[in-house]
Chain A
Amino acid sequence: MIMLYFLLLPLIVVFIAPLLTPKKSTYLSSLAFIIPFFSILYCIFRGCPSEIHIMNFSPPIGEIYLNFDFISNAFGLTICVVSAMVALFALPYMKHRFEEMERNVESEFRRYIFLYDLYAVSMLWLVYSGNLILLYIFLEITLITAFLLIYFYGYGNRRWVGLLYLIWCAIAGVLTLAGFIIIAFDPVNNTLALKGITAVGMLAWGFIFVGMLIELPVLGPHIWLPWAHAEAPTPVSALLSPLTVGLAGYVLLRIALIDYSFIETYRMPILAYAIFSSIYAGFSVFKQTDFKRLLAYSTVSQMGYILVALCLGPFGLIGLVIQYMSHAFGKSILFSSAGGIIAVHHGLRDINKMGGLHDSIPGISNAAVVGFLNLGGILTVGMLGEFFILRGVVDTFLRPDSPSFLGWTGSLPILLAVIFMFILSVWYGFYTIRKVFYGKPKDTKRLEISRYFYVPLFIIGILSVLLLFPPLSTALIQGLNAIPGLGLGGVVP
């Protein structure tokens, strides 16, 4: 029960924070996510009740409850730490932004912090929702709050971009809702409570899958993402890309754990599409000139990993969870460092005008390196993610007892494609680092910048490294492995 109060804390803060000054409200918001972070950590080490009942509705809605398994905890942990740290980063950034927009900082900050907190807390509640309708409600709140943040404080043609984002994600939301409703009215289920659902028909799966592909997004629908990520105010980009879009992966994972048949039936086309999408987006990165747009394409590429992981059975699904975490850590660091450059170098976003920035902002530059290490899965928790995804490939295609067995020569194209997909992240990552931060500096003067611009990023970075090693990874991975359907507990479908 105590966990419920910890989750309620940030929800209450949503309404208190706007009453305070910018600095106090930022600290309060950050604290409101750090406290649940530690409580989740406690949960991971010591265990806690797996669910908290809230209320009962009549069928087909069914029981509303909060779900506290290791999957939710892994996602929740990530959301808490990223939201808390980005909130700190946003303090100088948003002040700078309001001044730039010639608005009253004090009053504008109230509106902003309310939306920011509501946005973050709705994601946190989304991953703990035990009922699909509750999950859907929070999904829509994230959509609306993010839309408003882009609409009010974005860059460039922000109103148009905001609407673009709203329309795409509304389509995604509606399709998903349609899928949920079909599940609810299926006489086998007659409920939307996750634990009560026993079957997900192909039609429902199809709706949810397409909806979440738009949200994720993959090649095709991905086209909303570079706009939204590039033009959103950076703290919003730093939540939108790391946390929000990956939640589509969370929804797909939850549905896949109930009924894996859809993925099993269409495994090959989905996998091919996912790999192609990831490699396509990876190549797109090299041609971007706007730093934030570049990061947006990298997000599309990384979301391809998530979809690949979804197709790869029990170990792939663990890989999905870890991949979400690692991408969230990496991308929140990277978007924040892009924001740091914007704030410090007067709106600098064009990569062709960068180069040698390490000299003026070493803190931000080094943080960005940690960010790209996360994306590439080097020495950070992402390594485990990649390892599990690779194991998923072996389990699915190379084990003679697997129904999708292809043999070593038969599955060679898949192996090579997945391997290349992973290689590409490091290639564009370090290519970008060189282009942005290294090379001949235009200005060798070291700038005195606010610590908010890099200290929070290093905290995320350190966590991402610690998560690779014991004791954190021991508790987390063993917990995930113990969930039925994941890891060794799962049967290779």
Chain B
Amino acid sequence: MIDEWLVFLLLFLAPVVSSIPIALAYKSKGWTEKLPYLSVFGIFVSVLMSLYILFVVPKNQQFVYDWVPDLGINIVLITDYLSRYMGVITALIAFFIAIYGLDYMRGDYRPSWYWFFFNLFTASMLLVVYSDNLFLLFVGWEGLGAASWGLIGHWFRDDDEIAYVGVPKRKVGPLELSWPPSFGGWRAISTIRFGDVPMFFAIAAIWVFAGTLNISEINWESLFLTIGCAGTIILLVLLLLGLLTKSAQVPFSEWLMTAMTGPTTVSALLHSATMVAAGAFVFIKLTWYIKPWELHHVPGLNYVYIFALFIGLISGLYGALSASGMLERKVLLAASTMSSLGLMFGVAAASYWIHEEIAGMNFALLVAFWYMAVHAFAKASLFLVSGHLIHATHSRFSVGDFEFGKRMKTAFGVTIIATTFLIGMPPFTAYWVKSGMDEVMEHLIHHGMVIPIVLLILTSLVYSAILARFLSLNFIKGEKPEHEHVEGGGLMKLGYVMMVSMLFVLVYLIFTSAETAGFVHAGFIPTSFAVGMAILVAYVIAIYKPRIPSLAKLGAFFNDRMYLPFVNDYILPKTGFFVSHLVQDYGNRGIDGFFNTKVMPGLFERISKGIRTIQTGYLTNYVKIVLGLVMIFLVIASIGGILI
């Protein structure tokens, strides 16, 4: 039996420590070609440790190590259901992507930077997953933010058009809708920070009012009742801001689109098991322990959950619709990810109204979590494929005809599997989970909410169509690529084949695990089957007709993300720079002029000059001054005399 602390130490530190050598050897070309293997090995150690935790370490147990024990800030790790599985998912996906990255990033101009941040990214996510202490979780959370900044802006030179998002020099109104990598990085961290600080504040408030930072130990009911209705709403909305910005829900979705300026491996990791998933994961985890379905008597809580439900579902539809007009491979997938995350948020929020429990766990949360798992492997596969396609065609736009598809057999096959398994087509993996989702949203009708199920079905149909479109435009009905470079890429293929094969494992698990029995049950309900068939129809139609010329204008509107970039790229910066202009050109210049350069120095100069002009040396001047002083004295004295 190995001590648990050693397992956790290896789990978190192996990726970081193993990437330090390559970070230090940044000057040596020879070393930076060899050392990535060490970094990948570090992630492999994490995989082993996460598997060890899944199978050997006792379940539902807390492990506490001192940090600042007097104040309740401790290293508290937990092995509950969510952490155990999510840990394995994270480590495995990072490992597969890392193998792929050995090929994909070969010959890059700064491998040290890439591998250091890639491994930091993985370690941070693992910290978020296993942490029970909110402060520790936030350390991992900030690690995600910093690492994503580093990776998205990896190609900092902005000199290669292939790393841009948007069509260079394409202008819509006053805005040029194209973004270079260095901008993508800055956009990511500035948006995320906008949510992180409110979340940090909420954590501080929980610390004060709950008396503990450990998620599983907080008595949420008494916490909410103590702070009252307004307190509950403000606290949870501030907390949610952190999760929603991380998960790129509307209106914070822009950073996710411009994040596609990073290397594809980064996009794959960012979109599946880390970063954006972190927001949804933490929401599921918090809801898991808040148990809102038991807290209907807490005032204010229902508003928060309705808010989360609709933000999620609206983001779902917004993402899917936006993707329907996109031609850039990665941006299309990014918008679809946003859509999926919206569904996760929506379903997890619906748990407020769901009392059904399976194996002691809330059904809605199980659905959200399993959808996250399926989505992670499927989306990562699709990203890895599109990275390979970018290498093969030297284009980030969807191109590829059937001839090309035949030459890229592995990628073609993997895309077919990943898309069909993800959209919810019967009988593949996601169908069962999505049926559960249908059931959850259907249940909301009993609570007077019809819109959620409508939004869900609409989103599912559009979602199915966009992934079919992705398949069709890249392998079947796209234009013939100008460049074709289909040889090699062995490790890349290995990476996405392993990734996609996990979807079969998941479908096996769905049919054999006790907690997923509800999904199978839901899958055999006729309405779920009808939705599944509709999804299938949408998929087939979109493959057959991926582009509809008569809707080109609508497509352009969707492609421009319904002009949301105007908020992020026009209104906000214009306002900010206007304030800066005011404070700098009026405020600072005015104060500087007053104290340092004009008014005060001028005043002193004049007084000094005045005093100096007195000292001319003429006796008459001094006599005049003395007489004047005497006169003043006499006046004062006489007034004083009268008064007395």
**Residues of chain A whose beta carbon lies under 8 Å from any beta carbon of chain B:** 164, 220-224, 226-227, 280, 283-288, 356, 358-359, 362, 373, 376, 378-379, 383, 386-387, 390-391, 393-395, 398-399, 407-409, 412, 415, 418-419, 422-423, 426-427, 430-431, 433-434, 437-441, 444, 468-470, 473-474, 477-478, 481-482, 487-488
Contacts and interface: CB of A to CB of B under 8 A. Distances in A.
B158 A438 contact: yes
B581 interface: yes
Nearest to B120: A379
B579 interface: yes
A54 to B, nearest CB: 33
Interface stretch (B53-61, B541-549, B583-591): B583-591
A387 B576 contact: no
A164 B601 CA distance: 11
A394 B204 contact: yes
Interface in B161-218: 180, 182-183, 185-186, 189-190, 193-194, 197-198, 200-201, 203-205, 207-209
B230 to A, nearest CB: 5
8 contacts: A283-B583, A284-B584, A362-B110, A373-B146, A391-B208, A394-B201, A408-B227, A426-B193
Interface residues of B, number: 64
A399 B66 contact: no
Contacts of B231: 398, 408
Contacts of B182: 434, 438-439
B575 to A, nearest CB: 11
B145 interface: yes
Contact of A437 (B156, B230, B576, B591): B156
B560 interface: no
Contacts of B208: 391, 394-395, 398-399
Interface in B580-618: 580-581, 583-585, 587-588, 591-592, 595-596
A359 B591 CA distance: 39
A19 to B, nearest CB: 37
Contacts of A164: 596
B68 interface: yes
B230 A409 contact: yes
A387 B146 contact: no
A287 B585 contact: yes
A390 B583 contact: no
A434 B183 contact: yes
A423 B583 contact: no
A471 to B, nearest CB: 9
A386 B183 contact: no
A440 B158 contact: yes
Contacts of A482: 70
Nearest to A411: B234
Contact of B201 (A222, A373, A415): A415
Contacts of A427: 190, 193
Contacts of A408: 227-228, 230-231, 234-235
Contacts of B591: 220, 222-223
Given A280-B587, A477-B68, 9 more contacts: A224-B595, A285-B580, A393-B204, A415-B238, A426-B189, A441-B159, A470-B75, A473-B67, A487-B70
Contacts of A474: 66-69
Nearest to A281: B583
A14 to B, nearest CB: 32
Given A220-B591, A223-B596, A426 B234 contact: no
B68 A430 contact: no
A358 B200 contact: no
Contacts of B183: 434
Q: Which of A164, A284, A488 has the most CB of B within 10 A?
A: A284
A393 B207 CA distance: 12
Contacts of A468: 139
A386 B146 contact: no
Given A283-B580, A286-B577, A387-B135, A422 B230 contact: no
A224 B146 contact: no
A379 B197 contact: no
Given A379-B146, A408-B228, A434 B185 contact: yes
A223 B201 contact: no
A473 B143 CA distance: 18
Contacts of A440: 157-159
Contact of B71 (A358, A359, A477): A477
Interface of B: 26, 65-71, 73, 75, 110, 135, 138-139, 142-143, 145-146, 149, 153, 156-159, 180, 182-183, 185-186, 189-190, 193-194, 197-198, 200-201, 203-205, 207-209, 227-228, 230-231, 234-235, 238, 576-577, 579-581, 583-585, 587-588, 591-592, 595-596
7 smallest A-B Cβ distances: which pairs? A438-B182, A287-B584, A390-B204, A438-B156, A286-B580, A408-B231, A426-B193
Nearest to B198: A419
A431 B158 CA distance: 15
B255 to A, nearest CB: 12
Nearest to A365: B156
A488 B596 contact: no
Contact of A376 (B70, B193, B596): B193
A426 B596 contact: no
Nearest to B199: A419
A280 B583 contact: yes
A426 B71 CA distance: 27
Given A379-B143, A390-B200, A434-B182, A287 B581 contact: yes
A412 B231 CA distance: 10
A423 B197 contact: yes
Nearest to A168: B595
A430 B190 contact: yes
A373 B146 CA distance: 8
A437 B153 CA distance: 12
A164 B139 CA distance: 43
A469 B156 CA distance: 31
B153 A438 contact: yes
Given A438-B182, A487-B71, A283 B576 contact: yes
B579 A227 contact: no
Contact of B142 (A280, A379, A409, A433): A379
Most chain-B Cβ atoms within 10 A of its Cβ — which of A285, A387, A422, A473?
A387
A408 B232 CA distance: 9
Contacts of A386: 197, 200
A444 B157 CA distance: 9
Contact of A394 (B67, B193, B205): B205
A434 B186 contact: yes
Contacts of A390: 200-201, 204
